[in-house]
A and B are shown apart, each in its own frame.
Chain A
């Protein structure tokens, strides 16, 4: 494919006024948009907020002595519960895997469709959208709000402002409160929280999230995306000229200018310079300036522009999801090409599939029982008075299932080896039966003694554990140390 020079549609700026060292924040009054993407965003917002607020209340029966909350990060009990999945601290790699999947998912989506995350799913966007909705309910849409802010203080202005902030604070508190539900039993913490008996950390985190929600979604908004968030910088490296970004099609729009009804469209672009795209923008930018750091790709300008295009009886899609290459090619009179399958998208997708498969395989095949044998390091061995050599071990039996088990233990591999479990008598048949509690770790001290005739230097033996009920077998080969070479 021939290379295409990307042109920036902006005309050279006029001589700038002397630049100030510090930029004053410009108040943004985003206008309500109507259309396809606004509807998608409402639905997405309702879905995501619903998940966030309701999931902690879902129950999932796991048997007695274990939390019945479907999704719970139980720090006290050192467990992470996700429906039927129970993650132990030593399995934190599943969480790491989830993070890697999420990161790759972001990379993939960004290289295909630009900043979809920023525009639809980022909590900053979702809560800001919610807060703007509240703001609109109290103060009206863009024009009404601008008028209200310009007026001196009055009772009418005061109650609208106070009401807005009160509802914001309430939402902020509910947000912070819902966060802690993921770390405690939701029903229990919801009661103890209000009678002052919840742990201090619960109040602390609820307070922090109340504050951040109110500040970030209520008052800071676009400042967070532009000045605090690293993602706009990172995504510049992930998106490229083939990514479907929210794009002003300057090939169709320029030269722009006001258009009166009945005038000819010949020799001019479709952009009537109505500035609807600017007015609905929550970031306060002009999409017609091209791809910008500030643009979160929320697509509201598409809705605004489409509405205007319908009114002036021109085809919609003057602003649309499009690629820089496609626009540039059309502007140069060449046929449009879309390349969603590119080296990077294939790589991201392949990596995602591979990691997801690996995790699924790991989850499906992970055992519910683990044997860890820790050999005493001091003393490495003990010589008994008859000359026999004894080694000490700590046996850790991890039972991740909801059933208590009984494991029979034997050891073999060295001639004359004898096994002793501290605090446990062998049965009449000479078997060692070790009880292991459900959802727990049981520790046993064991001594292994080898007669002096067969103990020589470093040797190995096998500890065999068998579930007396199911016959499930676990072996652990471990070392035995004796003097000698």
Chain B
């Protein structure tokens, strides 16, 4: 605004910016000078900051941003924090190595540490198949129930974790093979139907009595060696109990028929190859706590 055309607000004596909205005029109060000085100070600070901290990106010839005199790097800082956490935990981790699984479970401090690290390792490695909290899925056993194929003790769970199931690269893996009775032509379709009827009758299902009694003979000849004469299973072979209500691969007729025809022989990796011993122990303690531990 030109010098002679200044609009002065009457009550305050302050000139206006000339802007007016609905009769309200904007006063052009002078800024306190110390605000200006603070602004200068922030500029000075920002220059210092650019020198000390990583700042200017992609200068020609640099290929990357300027590093700054302080050598600050979030990536390195995170790595250092992770490392220091690992050092902090190594004391408890070392205690896990020397203590027996029973000692870990009864010592409150060790148990809490094992549960925390076990839960996190479970989420990273196991929950993909076994589900959060070991809820299980079709083909993947529920770890929270009271039925176990191989073993539900602390040591047994640790062994399974360490060596896996049917993990052929590990000589000590838990191993057994059920024949594919249908696919390999060991039994005729009619015979399989009879066996399935018998197997379903073991858990109290209503079945065709005639077929079931024919199936009982076949069961005694072909299945009882592993699943037991009464069908209660045998953990030596990881042979499931056929008389209870737990069916990893489904309890319907066609599910069981499919199991007899094709065999299942599921696989679990040997985690000893991938995880350290302390983590395996923590996992054993965690899985044992889910509700089925023996």
A177–B134 Cα gap in the complex (Å)?
Answer: 53
> Which of chain B's residues has its CB closest to A379's CB?
B135
> Which of chain A's residues has its CB closest to B29's CB?
A23
> Which of chain B's residues has its CB closest to A390's CB?
B291
A384 contacts which of B6, B8, B28, B146 (Cβ < 8 Å)?
A: B146
B32 touches A21 (CB 8 A): no
B33 touches A23 (CB 8 A): yes
A377–B127 Cα gap in the complex (Å)?
Answer: 14
Q: Which stretch in A8-16, A246-254, A326-334 binds the other chain? A: A8-16
Query: Which B residues lie within 8 Å of A8 (CB)?
Result: 11
Interface range for B: 20 to 34
A379 touches B28 (CB 8 A): no
A337 on interface, CB distance cutoff 8 Å = no
A-B contact count (CB 8 A): 84
A329–B146 Cα gap in the complex (Å)?
Answer: 89
A19 on interface, CB distance cutoff 8 Å = yes
B244 touches A379 (CB 8 A): no
A416 on interface, CB distance cutoff 8 Å = no
Question: A-facing mask of B126-163, CB < 8 A → 1, else 0?
Answer: 00000111111000001011110000000000000000
A22 contacts which of B36, B136, B146, B147 (Cβ < 8 Å)?
A: B36
A382 on interface, CB distance cutoff 8 Å = yes
Given contacts A379-B144, A385-B244, contact A19 B15 (CB under 8 A): yes
A379–B136 Cα gap in the complex (Å)?
Answer: 8
Query: Which A residues lie within 8 Å of B30 (CB)?
Result: 19-23
Query: Which B residues lie within 8 Å of A10 (CB)?
Result: 11
Most chain A C-beta atoms within 10 Å of own C-beta, residue among B32, B134, B244: B32
A227 on interface, CB distance cutoff 8 Å = yes
A379 touches B245 (CB 8 A): no
Query: Which B residues lie within 8 Å of A56 (CB)?
Result: none
A378 on interface, CB distance cutoff 8 Å = yes
A386 on interface, CB distance cutoff 8 Å = yes
A258 on interface, CB distance cutoff 8 Å = no
Least CB distance, A428 to chain B, in whole angstroms: 24
Given contacts A18-B3, A383-B245, contact A378 B135 (CB under 8 A): yes
A23–B6 Cα gap in the complex (Å)?
Answer: 18
Is chain A's interface secondary structure helix, strand, loop, or mixed overall?
loop
A390–B135 Cα gap in the complex (Å)?
Answer: 12
B134 contacts which of A13, A22, A379, A447 (Cβ < 8 Å)?
A: A379
Query: Which A residues lie within 8 Å of B34 (CB)?
Result: 25, 223
A176 on interface, CB distance cutoff 8 Å = no
> Which of chain A's residues has its CB closest to B14's CB?
A19
B244 touches A447 (CB 8 A): no
Query: Which B residues lie within 8 Å of A19 (CB)?
Result: 14-15, 28, 30
A376 on interface, CB distance cutoff 8 Å = yes
B2 on interface, CB distance cutoff 8 Å = no
Least CB distance, B105 to chain A, in whole angstroms: 10
B131 touches A379 (CB 8 A): yes
> Which of chain B's residues has its CB closest to A24's CB?
B33
Question: B-facing mask of A379-414, CB < 8 A → 1, else 0?
Answer: 110111111001010000000000000000000000
A382 touches B3 (CB 8 A): no
B77 on interface, CB distance cutoff 8 Å = no
B190 on interface, CB distance cutoff 8 Å = no
Q: What are 20 A-B contacts with C-beta separation under 8 Å?
A: A13-B10, A16-B6, A19-B14, A19-B15, A19-B30, A20-B30, A22-B30, A25-B33, A223-B32, A227-B32, A290-B11, A378-B131, A379-B136, A382-B144, A383-B142, A383-B145, A384-B146, A384-B246, A386-B245, A452-B245
A residues near B (Cβ < 8 Å) are 8, 10, 12-13, 16, 18-25, 223, 227, 290, 376-380, 382-387, 390, 392, 447, 452
B residues near A (Cβ < 8 Å) are 3, 6, 8, 10-11, 13-15, 28-36, 131-136, 142, 144-147, 241, 244-246, 291
